[in-house]
Every structure is written in structure tokens, then in C-alpha cells.
Structure 1
Amino acid sequence: MKFKGVVADNLAEIYRLAADRYEDLPAFAARLRKGEFKPVSYRDLYDFGLYLGSALIELGVKSRDHVGLLSDNRVEWNIADYAILMCGAADVPRGTDVTNQEIEYILRHSDSKLVFVENAKLLERVIRIMPKLDRVEHLVLMDPDAKTPKGVLSLYELVERGKVLRAEGNREIEERMANIQPDDLFTLIYTSGTTGTPKGVQLTHANMASQVRNLPFPLEPDDRMLSILPIWHSYERIFHMIAISNGCCTYFTSLRTIADDLKAVKPTIMASAPRLWENLYLRIMKNVREAHWIRRGLFKAAYFSSRMVKGSVFFFQGKELDLHGRGFGERVVKGLLGGIKILFFTPLYIALNSVVLENLRQVVGGSFKGTVSGGGALQPHVDEFFNYIGVPVQEGYGLTETSPVAAVRTIPKLVIGSVGPLYPETELRIVDLNNGEILYPNSSLKGDGRGLKGEIHLKGPQVMKGYYKDQESTDRVLRDGWFNTGDIGIYTYNDCLKIVGRSKDTIVLLNGENLEPIPIEAQLCESPLVDQCMVVGQDRKHLGALIVPSLDGFASEGIKAADLEELSARKEVAQMIRAEAKRLISDENGFKKYEHIHDLRLLRKPFEVGEEMTNTFKIKRHVVDEKYADLIDQIFAG
């Protein structure tokens, strides 16, 4: 496939080329009200970047300086990003949910000299800790509707100042752009992390340019992208970069407005997180349970026939997960069964697809070419559900340290249960956790080591430069260009990567058994009675679990409560969830005895982003362990 978007070895040049090619096409659009968005064109966005960047240079921002950028998704974020990168500096981004301690640590550790702040509320917090930020020389308020306090600069006033400078003939920013090197930093992202102190990940222009250059699926200028994940995170950011490269328009939305915006924008592509699809799945299933019995029956028939037909088609297309290497006999038998299913169920599928499944596809706008889910693992039943009803959910895999994409499903390689093939130019090693031997690729093993589980090591142009001012941590994960992800995976026989856990998340029981909590948690969350959960048991005799019960799930069972506090206090709720845990985590479902849940406790508030979860909805296990230490001790007291 020939790449059609603009490419270059640094992002400032990509911005310039995009403005020249796409001119007056909309680049980003801010939400004004339901169904109405205000766009900014590629040419205007680039010009805003030139103006603001010129003003930053006048303020003393030098090439390779670091500039703080504390803001959530908005057009002004992109204006600031353009300006910072075009004047040769690197941004240090973070969202508004950041704590005061994190603000202080990140801005001090990063040596930021100037800081963009989104709104007045966050500005007040930053001003309070300014005495501790001895290197910060200027604060810039981004919100055009907020009053700018004395001593603080306004983004749009700086834009106007830059306009004057350029009208007077100032062209210093073009000189800065011409001197940007591929190995220069474009960003310094502090990982929110599931463990320990945030580390500053150094990503270069070459890192991100490789992600844009190697995009494995086509995009066109008439594609529409919906932006909901935190813009400061590398995963959402790469989607913005590929949108800019390809002339797409990105529309800003939020969790509060996404249902309306999906219908209004009708996006063709979107970066998403598992939590979005899990919530949508639960909402659909709730509506099904509450529907008339005839509609319930039609839904079950439509979904069942779709599974039979599409599941068989996936097998014939080589898209069915293969972890052990199917022999000739197994392929023949599965092929015969698949052919029978297609022959028998296709008429029913055709009849019900447009009547039932098309209505479900309209929930996400009805125009999706695909959505790439990242930042965490999709639950298997959610993954299957959307792909079988015709919403192509393509799961991807990567880390901030890999800019971030290392593997991603494409439509030709949409293997449910995997994160797809490796990103172009990416190398993979699967390493034995016990002895460090390379399991894949290994020509002395069956299938070169496919199907064997081990630690994932990656090498490629997207791998970070290292952690800022932390050589010790860098040396622990980077060796000879190979990055140790800390994730456990399998390379499948249909040449896709499957993530099965995380070595840092591995629970070691007192008897020495090692197990991965994530598959157990995914199975527990298949229950409509369970909203969130975390498995515990490090250095214990057996496993336990902390469970956040589902208000909607129990309401469907006739048990209604005003809030989680009331629901969790009911004895029958705990009894029902214990029964669900026993049913789901069982020998019959493929779990070993030591993986069974011995006991559990119900939580009276959900895990929330900024507290128990990262911005990509990963559980901060160390935070939960500390916060609920007493409850965890109760689980194992017996």
C-alpha cells in the first residue's frame, strides 16, 4: 500500500507540508453545542503556530528548551503544540487532573522554563506552587474566556504579538524549523504509571515520524476522527499526528457528550480505550434485557447467526487465533464445519443483519472504517461482540516508551484475541522469564517459537531515547536497542501478537505459583454484576478479589440501590458475586485450582482516573493495595 499522507523526518516539517497541501480543509473542530462544531483550518492552525512560536522566541524560549503544557483536549492545545515544536523546543504535556505534587515534580524535574495552563482554576493551583518552581519564568493562560491575572500571559495576546513580529519581517522561527534534527526531542512525557514515581519518557521527532510514515491502513482527507482520550498521552497524540498527515478533521468530544457526538460527527476512525466499549456493551445488553421478548429473541438470533457466519469466514481468511499450529486434520475438520455453518446460517444472518444489527451499528454513528482500542486489554466477550455485529474494533498494543504503537490489528489481519501484527519496521523477541533465552524467533523450536509465552522485547525506530535524567532506569529497560516492555506475550501462528499479562503484575503465591491477574479480572468482568475488579494475593496462600458491583447489573436482577454505598452493604449482593466468581473462575472455564478466588470484598466507590486508574484506565495496583490494605487483610484473615 502506498502511503498518501505527508511525511518528513521532523514534526514541524510535517505541519508545514500539511498546511501547504490541505490549506482550507478543517484540521480540528471544537464542540460549541450539540451537533455544532467550530473548525480551524490547516492553514490557520499553522499560521497560529508561526505567530505564537515567534512570540515564544521573543520571550526567550530557545531550541531544545522544555515547555510545560498542562491542558486537556482543545484546539488551543494544538496551537501551543505547533508553536513549541516549530520553535525547536520540546513540550512537557499533562492533563488538568494532575495533582499539585505531580505538577511540582514534573515541572521541576523537566526543567520547564515556560508553562501553558489551560484554565483559571488550574492556574490558581500552579501559582500557589510557583515559589517551588524556580526555573519557570512565564505562565501562559490558554482559555480565551478567562480573565488573565497580572503577571500571567495570554495565549491569544501572544498570538497577536507574533503576528506583529512577522509583519515586521521576523523570520527566526523558520530558521529554528530548518535546524531541527531527527534526534531532537519533540516531547517529554511523564508516565502516569501503575507503579512508583513518574518517569520522563524522551521521544524524538524521528520516533514519531516513523509512526506517521508506517501507518498500516489508508486514511483520506474526508475521514472524520473523534478525539476523546487524553491528548497529552502518546496514544491519542499519534492519532492527531496521522490525522494531520492525511488531512483528516479531528473533532473534540468528552465522555459526557460522546453519545450525541457519535451521531452528529459519524466518525470513520477513532482512538479508543477498552472502557468505552465495555460501557457501550453493557448499555446495549441492558437495553436488550429490558426489551420485549420478541425483540430479545430477534437480537439473540441475529447475534448467534452472525457469530456462526463471521466466525467461519474469519477461519477461512486466516483470522482465527492460532496459538498451537493447526495440523492438516484439524484444518480440514474446522473447514468442513465452517462451510456447513456458512451454508446453514447465512440466510438468517442476511435477513436479520439489516433489521437488527444495523440499528446497533448506528449507536456508534454507522460510518466506522474502524476504531483502534489501546491503553489496556479488551475483554474477550466485548472484543467478539462488536466485531461480530459489524463494528470493526481493532486492538493495538504499545507503550509511551514506543511512541506508542508496536502492534496493531488491520482489517486484513483482524485476529480477535490478538493485538495484530507488528508495526512496520518493528522487531520482536519473546524471552523466557526464567533463564533469559530467546523463545521467538528460535529456529530450533517448533514454528520458530510461535505459541510460547514469554517477556516481550521490542526494537525499532519508535523506541524512546531514554528516561530523562534517569540513566539507571534507562539501562534497566534498554539494552543494545532492545526495549524490555515488562509485558508477557505470545507470537501466534498467524503472525500476530497476543498479550497475556504483565511481568510486573505477576502474582506469586506462597507456594511459588506464578499467575497473571489480568485474564482472571477480564473473566470476572464478564459478569453483568461486576463493574470493576482487582485480583490480589501476592505472597499469600491463595487469591482474593476487590470487586466494584454494578448498579445497573443488580437493578436488572431486581436489586435496586441509590448508590454503591447502599448496594455494597447488602448481604445478598456479596453472596451473588461470590457465586459469580465461583462460576466464572472455575476448572470448567480453564482456570487452575490456584487461580480460583478464595474470598472477596466489595468496594463502595469505583476506581477512578487520577486516583486508582491511569488516564488510559489501567489499575494502579500499588495505589489500590495501599488504599484498601485493611480490606485485603480481611480477605486473607480466615
Structure 2
Amino acid sequence: MKTLADLYQSSKNKYGERPAFLTKNSSGEFDSVSFSELYELGLQLGTALIELEFPYKGHAAVLADNRLEWIIADYAIVMAGGADVPRGTDVTDSDLNHILPHSGSTIVFAENDSVLKKLHQNQSAIQNVHTIILIDKNAKGTGKELRFWDLVQRGKELREKGNREMEKRISQIQEDDLFTLIYTAGTTGRPKGVPLTHKNIMSQINRIPIKLAAGERILSILPVWHSFERMFEMVCIHFGAGTYYSSVRTLKEDLKKVKPTFMASAPRLWESVYQGIYATVAKSSSVKQSLFHAALFFSSNIQSAKRWLGFRELDLTGRNVIVSLFVGIFKILQYILNILPATLLDLIVLNKIRQATGGKLKGTVSGGGALPNHVDKFFNAIGIQVLEGYGLTETSPVISVRILNEAVMGTVGPLYKETSLRVVDPNTSKILWTTEEGGPKGYSTKGEIHVKGDQVMSGYYHDEENTRKVMNGGWFNTGDLGMMTYNNCLKIVGRTKETIVLLGGENVEPVPIENILSQSEFILQCMVIGQDQKYLSALIVPNPEFFPDYKPGIGFSSAEEEAKCAVKIQGVIKNSISSANGFKSFERVVDFRLLPKPFETGDELTAKLSVKRHVVTDKYSGLIRDIYSGKKEEVLR
């Protein structure tokens, strides 16, 4: 299969009346649409779009969250030879004013009255839009919009009269045509448009190392317009699995109702489940607590033995044959001594915990941020495999992912098939490790990750400047730091680029935050941190001119003066990083630390005075650990 149109048609033929997507009705029960019905609904809506003069290779924006109409619109736009421009209902005014004109969208699908109101409040954003289609049946609208299901009915009538424009369009689609234009999650800066082709996405689907079976139940909770969730839904269509649209709000009850066999998720979800389990255990009797910890202990020992004996233990040094022999003997004994209590306690304790996820969950793919090590170990121990993957929107998105029953914890798995990768020294551009034949193989050597393959975008949409920053000879600079382990798995260790990805999957551009903080006379320099954490914090260099007690290289000699400085800087943060200044809730800076010395050229700063984020992160790693080792959860108000 070369295009998504091929995929959609193939799934209809293979899986027919099997449930494809399931959404909740007003009673809270899941209603399904089959693969055959979905395909036909896509043809009907697409036929109506063509009648509305939607051109081949045209762009249509879909401003909606996870719901049946979303996937129908996707089918219709793609099979009509166009590309969708997706965004959620939380789209901001600044997003609308940039994305709609920049993408050239002429049709906009709006989920509800709230989204419609935003559109009408930003008339300059929709000056080239000739049609707005209102999705929700219960939305009031203004009377000028077209209704989603009315268009589906119109398309049905046209097809019953013999209209076959959609079949003509489908026959024209080429693998280098765009199927989507996803805009990266910008903050106060402009989001970049990532154009992905049929070839990009089909390379992911055709080479997916995780196999699902027809009829499997997949719970969907991530925003459907995110590239990770989008790709995973296409994978479900490929295998004939049923996708149940859920949300974080109803996740607990939906897990029990659906009993999913697999799902895609963000790290924050599993940390939340982890914390919920431990909170429940803490409220239990001392006997139950003891049984829980014993079950976890024995199961962890069993899993550790299995990983070592299966050559799945993280290897950063290269196994020594003699040492491996003795460790192997120890692991065999460990397995023998622990298997009986582990099995019994699994039945008594851990099986009940797994039942909270429906009892049928084989595993989940986690993406959008790093999975905390303690969470990773915990779920592996209780029998739920969390397969951490790595990628970006620009890579459609997956570069590497762990494989079911072969996962190496502490890594993001082996590379995707036919993916080329380089690990490059960010300071000298020297290649340290590469998949290229005859190239260096510096295992466990940290460097910047550059990737090349069919999943990599050609460049940002109508944005040569940003494209030049990341693309060179077909190689895409991810801006992330990593290394290849001796297990031939990729391990992510940090980042050199600016974007911060929080634990919940939110993308934050730190520069606008740093710029507004640096405007304060009290702050000489600052760097926002928070990669793979729940919230943002900042490392701040006070301005010595306003704090005479602060001596560069020493810091404050008086705790009292340092406290006074901290109070003033906290006030700056509170007043600057607020909704009134256009910042979202997850962009708030929750905590900060004062640094003992300014950033210097040749050390923390480049010759152009840009902050070397990976250098600062390494230098103050202890301070950063201190920030996030506490329980501070409240956002500064």
C-alpha cells in the first residue's frame, strides 16, 4: 500500500462489518461504526466537499477533538486528494490567525459554538475561507454555516445518482501528496507547519514492529490531531482493531467498560495511575501493604532475571563474558528462588491491580515525552508493558520504539526499519555513531541525534529559514541528545534544542518566557527548565546592580539578602508569566533557583551569546534534581 486511500479501501475490504471506531452516546454507552460504514461515510462527505469546490490538493482545517466526525472528515479530505490541517477545540486566537491563512485552508470544520465564536472573532483568519462546517448537531450556529451531517446526506444523494467524483480523485493520489499539515504547538511564538505525505505515514504503517490483531480493543485518550495518536489510529485501521474514543476524565470507568488490549498514551497518564495505586495502598491495612510490597519485590526480581537472561538488560559498557557468566548463574538462581512466591502473590495482589485497567491490557506505547524510570520499572513488574517510543511530528512521528516482550528498559527501543541515524557531537559536528556502512560505532557516546528516512518531512511548510536550521542533505536534526546502547537500542539523555516537552506531552517554547523574565531589572539571565517534568521551573542569575550582596562566582553571602532577592523575583515571575500576557496554564513557571554565577561565553554561552542548554542542564543537574525532588505542585498565582 502506497497511500492512505489504499489503506482505507483495504481495511474496508478486509474487515467489513467489524467495529472501526466507537464513541459514546448520550447514555454513556459506546456506539460503533464499521470499517465499511466509515469508508462509505468518507466517500459521501468527500463528494459533498467536491461539490463545494474543494480542489485536489486543497487544504481543510479540522478544529475538533476526538469524535466520530473527526475520522469521517479525515477520510473525506484525504480521499478527495486533499490534506487536513488539524487542531483541537482549545485552539487560540494567535493560532487561528497564523495557521488558517498560512495553510491556505479554504474550508474549516468547527466542532461547536465555542470554536465558531473564535472564528468569527478573528475575521482576518478566515478571509480566505469560503465554507465553515459545524460538526456538533446540538450547536446553534449563526445560520450561515453548513451542517456536517447535512453534507453527508447530500453526498449520499449524489452518489445514489451515480456521482463517482471521489473514485476519480482517489485514482489521482500519489505517495508524495500531502495528507496532513500539522502545526507544532507554538506558545507565544508562531507554530511551524509540518507537511506530511502519504509516503511518510505509510512508511510508519508498513514497517510497524508492533502487531495487533483484528478485533482488538484500543482506548484512545490522546488528542487525535497530535501526530503520535494520529499515526496510531492509522495503525489500528491497518490491523482492523477497534478504536474507542475516551478522555482522561472518564478513563477509569472506560478501562473497566472497554477492557482494552492495547493503547497509546503519554507518560503523565502512567505516572498518574502509578500515584493512584500507591495512594490506595497507603490507605490500606498494614497486612495489605506488606503483601503489595512483597508482590512487587518478588515480581521485580523475576523480571530482572528475565531481562538479563534474555539480553534485555540495559548495556552501556559492553558485556564482559566472564562477568556475564557469573551474573547469569546468579540470575538463574534468583529466578528459581523467586518464581513460586512471585506467582502466588501475582494471583493474590498484582492481578487485582491489573484488573483496574480492564484485565486484558497487553501493553501500551508511551510517547510525547520521557517515561520516568520508577514508573517504567513499576508497570513492568506488575505485568503491564509500557513500550516507550521516540519521535517528533517532523518524523511522522516514530524513529524508534520498544518491541513487545523484547523491551530494554531505559531505552526507547531499536530503530524503525530502514531508518538511518547519526549521533553527532553538537560542538564539533563529528559523527560518533551511525547506521551508515563503514561509519563509526561509538556505542554509549552521547551526541545529537540526526535522522534520515522515508518518515522524515521534506521541510517546514513555506518556511525556508526554519527548514535550513534542521535539514541538511536529507538529514533532520532532532535537537535531542542520545546514544546507542550495546543492546542496539536508542537512549535519550537530553536535548540541545529549545522546545521543552512536559510530562503531560505539552510542548513549550522557553525563549518567549525567558525574554519576558529578562525584561525585569532584577534578572540578569535565566533559563527555563522542565523537560519531562510536570511543570516548568527556572534557573535565574540575579542582577548584581540591584542586589549588592550578590557576588558573581560566590552568590549571596547573606541568607537574609538571598531571601529578599527570591521574594522580588517570585513577584516578577507571578506578574510576567500570566494568562493576561498570553501564557497558558502549563507555561507558568512554578519554581526557580538562583545561580551563583552568570552564564559566560565559551562555557554556558555560544559566541552568539545563545545559551547552551545541554551544558547548563549538565552543570546544574544537582540543582535541577533538587527542584523536582519536592512535592511542589501549585502553579504560582
TM superposition score normalised by structure 1: 0.80
Alpha-carbon separation, structure 2, partners of 1:166 and 1:113: 24
Alignment equivalent of 2:442, drawn from 449, 458, 470: 449
2:579 maps to what in 1?
A: none
Q: Does 1:596 align with 2:634?
A: no
Alignment of 1:44-193 (within 5 A): 44-193=37-186
Contact 2:314–2:408 (CA under 8 A) maintained in structure 1? yes
Indicate the residue corresponding to 1:536 in structure 2: 539
- What are the residue-to-residue correspondences of 1:21-40 with 2, within 5 Å? 21-32=14-25, 36-40=29-33
Distance, in Å, in 1 between the alignment partners of 2:540 and 2:357 is 39
User: What amino acid does structure 2 have at the position aligned with 1:87?
Assistant: A
Question: In structure 1, what is the Cα distance between the partners aligned to 2:340 and 2:426?
Answer: 49
Question: After superposition, where does 1:1-400 map in structure 2 within 5 Å?
Answer: 8-32=1-25, 36-193=29-186, 196-400=189-393
Report the CA distance between 1:603 and its aligned residue.
10
State the partner residue of 2:401.
408
Is this contact kept in 2: 1:373–1:396, CA < 8 A? yes
CA distance in 1, matches of 2:27, 2:49: 35
- State the alpha-carbon separation in 2 of the partners of residues 411 and 184 from structure 1: 33
Preserved CA contact (<8 Å) 1:502 1:516: no
Q: Give the 3-state SS of the residue equivalent to 1:297 in structure 2.
A: helix
The alpha carbon displacement at 1:192 in A equals 0.3
- Give unpaired runs (5+ residues) of structure 2: 501-509, 511-526, 543-551, 556-561, 567-590, 593-616
- Per-residue CA distance 1:473-524 (angstroms, 9 max, x = gap): 11221111111100000101001001111112599xxxxxxx9966xx76xx
Structure 2 counterpart of 1:4: none
SS of the aligned residue for 1:465 comes to coil
Counterpart CA distance in 2 for 1:542 and 1:378 is 36
Q: Would you say the 8 A contact 2:433–2:439 is kept in 1? A: no
Deviations 1:311-354 (A, max 9, x none): 11111101111111121233123212212211222221111011
Q: 1:445 to 1:310 in 2, by over 3 A?
A: farther
The letter for the 1-side match of 2:133 is V
Q: Give yes or no for contact 2:420–2:436 (8 Å, CA) kept in 1.
A: no
Shift of 1:401: 0.3
Instruction: State the distance in 1 between where 2:136 and 2:223 align.
Output: 18
Contact 1:221 1:247 in 2 (8 A): yes
Q: Does 1:439 align with 2:407?
A: no
Q: Is the 8 A contact 1:29 1:249 kept in 2?
A: yes
Instruction: Tell me which amino acid in the other structure corresponds to 1:49.
Output: G
Residues of 1 paired with 2:553 and 2:150: CA distance?
A: 63
Distance in 2 between residues matched to 1:59 and 1:472, nearest whole Å: 35
Measured after TM superposition, the shift of residue 442 of structure 1 is: 8.5
Structure-2 change in CA distance of 1:439 and 1:244 (3 Å): same
- Shift in Å at residue 34 of structure 1? 7.2
CA distance in 2, matches of 1:542, 1:89: 60
Distance change (3 Å), C-alpha of 1:106 and 1:430: same
User: Once the two structures are superposed, what CA deviation does each residue of 1:272-302 show, in whole Å capped at 9, x if it has no partner?
Assistant: 0000000000010111111100001001111
Segment drifting more, 27-36 vs 222-231: 27-36
Contact 2:207–2:416 (CA<8 Å) still a contact in 1? yes
Q: Return the offset for 1:174.
A: 0.7
Instruction: Report the CA distance between 1:366 and its aligned residue.
Output: 1.3
Give the count of matched residue pairs.
545
User: Following TM superposition, by how much is the alpha carbon of 1:443 offset from its aligned partner in structure 2, in angstroms?
Assistant: 9.9
Separation (CA, whole Å) in 2 of partners of 1:407 and 1:200: 23
- With over 3 angstroms needed to count, the CA separation of the structure-2 counterparts of 1:604 and 1:312, relative to structure 1, is closer
Q: Distance in 2 between matches of 1:24 and 1:538?
A: 63
Contact 1:51 1:160 in 2 (8 A): yes
How far, CA to CA, are the matches of 1:406 and 1:457 in structure 2?
10
**AA paired with 2:621?**
E
Work out the CA distance in 2 between the residues paired with 1:358 and 1:538: 51
Q: Could you report, residue by residue, the CA deviation over 1:350-372 in whole angstroms, capped at 9, with x for unpaired residues? A: 11011111011111111112100
RMSD (Å) for aligned C-alpha atoms: 3.0
Query: 2-side partners of 1:390 and 1:194: how far apart?
Result: 38
Give structure 1 stretches of 5+ with no counterpart. Answer: 1-7, 508-514, 526-530, 547-572, 575-590, 608-627, 632-638
1:532–1:606 Cα contact (<8 Å) kept: no
Q: Structure 2 CA distance, aligned partners of 1:315 and 1:244?
A: 36
Q: Contact conserved, 1:447 with 1:493, CA < 8 A, in 2?
A: no
Identity between Structure 1 and Structure 2 (%)? 46
Task: Give the alignment of 1:618-637 within 5 angstroms.
Answer: none
Structure 1 counterpart of 2:164, one-letter code: R
CA distance in 1 between partners of 2:195 and 2:160 (Å): 35
2:13 and 2:341 map into 1 onto residues whose CA distance is: 51
Distance in 2 between residues matched to 1:182 and 1:593, nearest whole Å? 46
Q: Paired residue for 1:480, among 460, 473, 479?
A: 473
Q: Quick check: 278-287 or 145-154, which moved more?
A: 145-154
Distance 1:249 1:185, change over 3 A: same
Classify 1:293/1:272 alpha carbon distance in 2 versus 1 (closer, same or farther; 3 Å): same
TM-score by length of 2: 0.80
Evaluate the alpha carbon distance shift between residue 195 and residue 496 of structure 1 in structure 2; reply closer, same or farther with a 3 A threshold: farther
Structure 1 CA distance, aligned partners of 2:439 and 2:9? 50
Label 1:538 to 1:168 Cα distance change in 2 as closer, same or farther (>3 A). Answer: farther
Distance, in Å, in 1 between the alignment partners of 2:232 and 2:125 is 35
CA distance in 1, matches of 2:149, 2:47: 13
The structure-2 alpha-carbon separation of the partners of 1:193 and 1:442, relative to structure 1 and needing over 3 Å to count, comes to same
Letter in 2 for 1:110: S
Instruction: Tell me if structure 1 keeps the 8 A contact 2:15–2:240.
Output: yes
- Rate the CA distance shift 1:433–1:538 in 2: closer, same or farther, 3 A: farther
Query: Deviation at 1:542?
Result: 10
Q: How far off its partner does 1:532 sit? A: 4.3
Aligned mates of 1:196, 1:116 — CA distance in 2: 24
C-alpha change, 1:541 and 1:195, in structure 2 (3 Å) is farther
Q: Name the SS for the 2:403 alignment partner.
A: coil
